[in-house]
Copies of this chain bind each other. A is one copy, B any other.
């Protein structure tokens, strides 16, 4: 992609807009959003507005905006059906010569709804008209709050959802840094596991990182936290440093 390129007619861009703060958008993402004909913004069916729109609101200047509500359930069929319909719309608009940008909060490469739209588009559009623009992830923004590097020298980092605690337990023995996504409703169980392993004081949490007025920073986990927090909670466990061998 050329530097500071405008969104091109007939092309689709999956664009990460960072965790929420409008100034954590990249210049490339900003330029594409500004020059898009159509912006698609995923909105959780539980949310009143798209978080991704908040991040790029200063860049809106008359582009068409479609906020599409998507299912939050872990249901493959409903998920793929919803994104298949959106892919049909993208293809139709691209054929009409529009430049289409899907914005997603954070990084479209990590646990993003972009994955489904990209998957659905792969059979519908030519690969050279589909583009992916990385964004600052919640992992990065959360770690930046504390000033400690996630990895240095020969450290290994595991990024995973806090869904299966047996797998979290394994990861805690195999890496120097473990980053857990989707922690919100599972906070109590996770805190229990970390307490049992004597790791509570090595774990930090950020909820709604870089989202104005909503950010919660917990610099050390304790066992008297609420049982659950917002869905967009990230826990970072720093187990040690491997150094150079």
Contacts and interface: CB of A to CB of B under 8 A. Distances in A.
A92 interface: no
Nearest to A140: B134
Interface residues of A, number: 66
Interface stretch (A40-48, A153-161, A196-204): A153-161
Contact of A147 (B107, B132, B161): B132
Interface of A: 3-5, 18, 21-28, 30-31, 74, 76, 107-112, 114-116, 118, 122, 127, 130-137, 140-141, 143-144, 147-161, 163-164, 167, 170-171, 174-175, 212, 243-245
18 contacts: A3-B21, A4-B22, A22-B27, A23-B26, A23-B27, A24-B134, A109-B150, A109-B151, A110-B151, A110-B157, A112-B149, A122-B147, A132-B147, A133-B144, A134-B136, A156-B159, A157-B158, A157-B160
